Amino acid sequence: MGRSQLQRGGVDRGGRFGPDADDTGCAVLHVDMDAFFASVEVRRRPELRGKPVIVGGVGPRGVVSAASYQAREYGVHSAMPGARARRLCPHAVFLPPDFAAYSEASRAVMSIFHDVTPLVEPLSLDEAFLDVAGCRRRLGSAGQVAKLIRRRIADEQGLTASVGVAATKFVAKLASTQAKPDGLAVVPAAETLDFLHPLPVSALWGVGERTAETLRRLGLRTVADIAHTPVTSLRSALGNAAGSHVHELSWGRDPRRVTPEAVDKSIGAETTFDVDIDDSATLRTTMLALAGKTAARLRRVGLVGRTVVIKVRFADFRTVTRSRTLASPTDVTREVFDTAWALYEALRPGERIRLIGVRAENLLPAGQASLQPQLGAPEQGWREADRAADAARARFGSAAVTPASLLPQTDGGGSAAPGEPGD
DNA sequence: TCTGGGGTCCTCAAACTC
DNA sequence: TCTGGAGTTTGAGGACCC
């Protein structure tokens, strides 16, 4: 999903880069499910087949999470505000996201990948890289493996996927975008630059709206333009890392391997209020719920965080963050909340607030961390309370344990209701 | 047009350490 | 003892991705 609409054209899907192109030297597959969330909804409600279906965009400030190809014909795409999507396609079926269903479908698709190779690197629920170099004797060339995977996903899951086959991750990803929907594109290793150079700069990974505008001001419009610009000029325009990065990609150089296990760098939760608020009690209650959700997720995956970050977005969409690094890492709701709230109190914005968020960074495995209570703080008691609450929730459901301060109140204010508070 | 929620990575400045 | 410089850590912000 995402940017698929912006880099079409110029590629001959049936010929040079079609499903039967020469796949010598290609070992990387990028598999991307087509309109995944919308397709899962259509699969369980066949009466929606052929209709514009939009997942997300249902609340007053919601945005589109996924749109079926019928909805995309009206210009609807992901990340578009729901109100705009409704104007463009008023007869579309709008559905709230059901992440449990999408996760289940994702697990089924990923298990097909794991039947093929252990070298699977998921990027999100609906896409993954696969290294199929070791499959040749058992299953055939990369192109043949791609066809097999597409067929199994269709037969066993009733869903369609697009697959890109190339020598590198980055080119495989571009190829799958070109193949959409329900297609297969193979970029022969020897023809990588012919594939790459006509594409717009925005096709490059890491080039978003801002960077594309900077490059446009330099007169750089295509990947070929970037390739033929001195890397020093790119570095001075974009910064060292980004300048070198786009220059390397423009020559098809991408040394990253397919790496199966990714380590979490941060875990957090945030919520946007239906209406901007300045009521301290609502903010505090919401912050407690977000801290609880964050700490519960840390405990579930066995991690602790050393740095607590809060994010505050004001009514005018300005966003600030504040962070504090603790003396020892934590997964205790109370400690996450106390730190987050202290950061908020120090900020004391005095403006109406649109969004707040809590995040834990500098993560490490709970087993490796020395979890020491702060001076004077009964942390052990809080940790035990968290564990008991986790156990109760596991047994009786997420609503089984709720801090008193999160029980329904009669005042108005925000409508945020993040799940899994902690205490 | 009016912008979600989950993240990663990079840059820069200031503080700190050696 | 003071000082400067280099390297590291922390904090904040921004761009980007799905």
pLDDT in tens, A17-63: 999 999 999 999 999 999 999 999 999 999 999 999 999 998 889 99
**How many angstroms is C1' of B7 away from CA of A363?**
14
**How many angstroms is C1' of B8 away from CA of A241?**
14
> Which residue bears the tokens 């010929």?
A15
The CB density around residue A206, as the number of other CB atoms within 10 Å, is: 12
Q: What is the reported pLDDT for A400?
A: 67
Q: What is the reported pLDDT for A380?
A: 64
Least confident of A70-84, A106-120, A129-143, A226-240: A226-240
3-state SS, residue A228: coil
Q: What is the reported pLDDT for A1?
A: 46
Strand C reaches within 7 A of the A6 CB: no
Confidence of residue A404 (pLDDT cuts 50, 70, 90): low
Strand C reaches within 7 A of the A173 CB: yes
Confidence of residue A378 (pLDDT cuts 50, 70, 90): low
A113, A149 Cβ separation under 8 angstroms:
yes
**Catalytic residue chosen out of the listed positions A41, A47, A121, A127:** A127
**How many angstroms is C1' of C15 away from CA of A209?**
9
Beta-carbon contacts of A245 under 8 Å, excluding residues fewer than 6 positions away, are: A206
Residue A127 annotated among the catalytic residues of the structure: yes
3-state SS, residue A416: coil
Instruction: Return the amino acid letter for A415.
Output: S
Nucleotides of C under 7 A from a protein CB: 9-18
Least confident of A70-74, A148-152, A351-355: A351-355
A66, A35 Cβ separation under 8 angstroms:
yes
Q: What is the mean pLDDT of chain A?
A: 86
Strand C reaches within 7 A of the A270 CB: no
A50, A71 Cβ separation under 8 angstroms:
no
If you ran DSSP here, which 8-state letter would residue A33 be given? E
Structural domains in chain A, CATH included, are 38-99 (3.40.1170.60), 197-250 (1.10.150.20), 266-406 (3.30.1490.100)
- Name the residue with higher pLDDT: A19 or A255: A19
Strand C reaches within 7 A of the A1 CB: yes
If you ran DSSP here, which 8-state letter would residue A374 be given? P
If you ran DSSP here, which 8-state letter would residue A345 be given? H
Distance CA A16, CA A416 (A): 51
Q: pLDDT tens digits, residue range A169-214?
A: 999 999 999 999 999 999 999 999 999 999 999 999 889 888 898 8
**How many angstroms is C1' of C12 away from CA of A85?**
34
Residue A287: is its pLDDT beyond 50? yes
Instruction: Return the amino acid letter for A103.
Output: S
Q: What is the reported pLDDT for A415?
A: 40
Beta-carbon contacts of A255 under 8 Å, excluding residues fewer than 6 positions away, are: none
Residue A137: is its pLDDT beyond 70? yes
Length of chain A: 423
Instruction: Return the amino acid letter for A295.
Output: A
**How many angstroms is C1' of C6 away from CA of A241?**
22
A109, A159 Cβ separation under 8 angstroms:
yes
Which protein residues have their Cβ less than 7 angstroms from some atom of strand B?
A 56, 61-63, 65, 78-79, 81, 83-84, 239-242, 264-272, 293, 297, 317, 354-355, 357, 359, 416, 418
Residue A363: is its pLDDT beyond 80? yes
Query: Residue A1, CA: closest nucleotide via C1'?
Result: C18
